[in-house]
Structure 1
Amino acid sequence: MIDRARLAELTAREQRTFLERNPRSRAAYDRAEHLFGQVPMTWMNKKAGAFPLYLAEARGNRVTDIDGNVYLDFALGDTGAMGGHSPAPVVDAVQRRIGDSGGVTTMMPTEDAEWVGAELSRRFGLDVWSFSLTATDANRWAIRLVRALTGRSKILFHSYSYHGSVDESLIVVGADGEGTSRPGNVGAPVDVTLTSRVAEINDLDGLERQLAHGDVAAVLIEPALTNIGIVLPDPGYHEGVRELTRRHGALLIIDETHTFSAGPGGATKAWGLEPDVLVIGKAIAGGVPSGAYGLTREIADRVLGRTDLGLIDMGGVGGTLAGSPLSIAATRATLEHVLTDAAFTGMIEVADHYTDGVRRLFERFGLPWTISQLGARAEYRFVSPAPRNGTESDAAADAELEDFLHLYLTNRGILLTPFHNMALMSPVTTRDDVDAHLAVLEQALAELTA
């Protein structure tokens, strides 16, 4: 339904506008001779324009670049800034820890950690918690624990799921229905099929076939796919997953790093899930690096009862900066004052307004596209009906359309997550902000379909 020649023409126009609006960002990028890929982290090169925008400041859900352009930010650090940029309670807590109290890194616990652990237990239901600096590390350490407990070597994932840069997770379902390395996997230490198994979300038969091999220590999944477009579970899917894992002697790890948007206790609380281990990161510390994994009391007792595991020294399940006074202070401030139960209620209401508005625009312009919502986040895909698994969602990608829409929105002061078409609501995002976004999207679709 899209005239590709017109799409290319419009994209070229937006590229020219992008260059005109951002001379300082372009110059900064051109000067970056000592950075790998010209950026602090190579994923910052995921951009629709010819170069990334350079940050000057960010507050709440507003970002200003070094050219002075101000943006409504619906990316919010791809969930890392779900509480908004530099929320005052987090800033205050960090300043107290750095300034008044001192002691950013001491290798000593603080009393805040118990408060955070209790609050995470209230929200997610897991009994005891351990901290990291990223969800990637929390996933790695959880994987080590479940392997030690079960004596099994493999971890089972959803195809096209997202668990950071965990080596084992970079596996997808191949054309033959079996696992294969995800395209683009960089320097894998071993063939991923030696460490992992994979099944599509919403395919209980496929999950059971993989579990039947008897070598799966744990199923490690997102409750819904989030980094390949939002793919929601079918009714009854998670009940089936839990029944199959128990029947086949595998543990269940739920990664809530992105699905935390579903509510104050993530999808685990909202949907009544029963994991043995739960992993979370990114958003819980208001942008300060932090992650955590929670264990049921039974699992924790089994691990602590083992005398052969190096849990205190060099067992591969810890980091010097993990659970630092700074990250724990930021986590407490975020959970206690920013991403509260009441805040989630408001965020989800604003996301409802966004989803309804986008859906009406698709209907108005006769576009066979869909939008899926997961609490405070929503994402559209250029296909209808919505994909039911990761492979379908990957096949629905349209880089040309995505680049055009991202450029069009960016040139008019709206930022979406650069990796996909995700919009996330923070506690300070308003319906007026959403309406501003919808107005620009409407302009884009009108030009695209004219």
Structure 2
Amino acid sequence: MPDADPPPELPARLLTDPEMINACTVRDFAVVFRLVKARAGVYPSMIARRCDLTPSRVGEVISGRRQLLHMDVVERIADGLRIPGHMLGLARRSWETPQALVAADREAPHSPHPDQPEFASLPGADVDGILALASQNSLSTATLDAFRSSIEDYWRRDDQHGGETLRPAIVGQLRHVVGLLKESRPPIIQSGLYAIAAELARLTGWTYFDARQYNQARAYFTEALHLAKEIDDRQFMANVLACMSLQGTYQDKPGDSLAFVTAAQDRARSDLATTPRVLSMLSMREAFAHATLGNRESTHRAIGEAHRHFELIRGNDPDPSWVTYFDDTKLIVDTGIAHGRLGEAATAEPLIADALRREARTNQRGRAFHSFWLARTQLDQDKIDQACHTATQALEPASAVASERVAGHLREFYAQLAPHRTEPVALAFEARLRTLLPPVSGPPRP
């Protein structure tokens, strides 16, 4: 059984102290125990209890009258005092890696059948009848405005906390709106309901995408396309396809990603009302797809197109509400990420850093993503101190949002840091990481 109350971490400043590092390297436990007492307040009786040693034995070690040489004892000291394994010449200890860094993609055991419409999972006849009794018979434009306001609130809360806990409410509202679509209403109301249902379906798909449950995400994105097609909203269809393109980059399916964004651009260009902001966003998604494929020239061309379209934006453009997030800060950071995906770290770093300075602090997930991207570009340039400092700053927003995608970005940085984990600054980062994320529990010691 895993420990219910694992030992507390030693201070990072102690683990990175040259005297402590040297004492661990030569396994001078007299010095180790004295430093742990003086710098961490772990007294000999506590050392004995945490390392499964007798107090008299700890006292003999501190006084220099006994040495500790047996490997099982060294391992107990590493685990009991939370000294990273490599510092004592051991293999990496199980508690050193937080659970979030070894989590696999979270797919549901059964994915929806591709030919089965998503409405099949909505309420059955009995539930529909009950809801019909409870719902009002007529809807107004004010009702539609209320739905749109709730969707805006969902998106805001999704940025701040992640969509995992929001999903039941979003799906419930989607079911309700789909039920309303079954009744005959004035065209302006019916069209508004289709648009709201499409956005709720996209938002549901986005919460599954953020949770790395990709099959469910695609099912809801597909449903959003069906709903938008009913009212021939080509800009919104382009937006959904752009979401599916982004998902393709996360699934390591760059061919799918490029196909989706190309289809998105075709839909958008077929609508004369499509705004420059929408076209700029789609060009940037194209840049992501090309960068994931390693197409340098095509990536640079798509980035140039994104900036060219963005320069055409005017204050009175009739932008759809779902694209207003794509502002100059988002353009800058996405440009940096596209360069980062190509391995052009020196170009990417100042762009991402500039965007982070501008980005709203309430967007916890975005700040975590972009900070880890910045840390990775710094590590690509062997700026280890800066990379670990940036990644440490990212841990606070990362721990505040429930997002498997954030955990995925953290895992990628953590894997990239592997060759440098013996560096003091990397030790300090790992110590901070373990205070925010639970460790993996190893097997019980006999």
TM normalised by structure 1 equals 0.24
Q: As a proportion of its length, which structure holds more strand?
A: 1
Higher-Rg member (1/2): 2
TM-score by length of 2: 0.25
Higher relative contact order (CA 8 A, sep 6+): 1
User: Which structure has the highest helix share of the two?
Assistant: 2
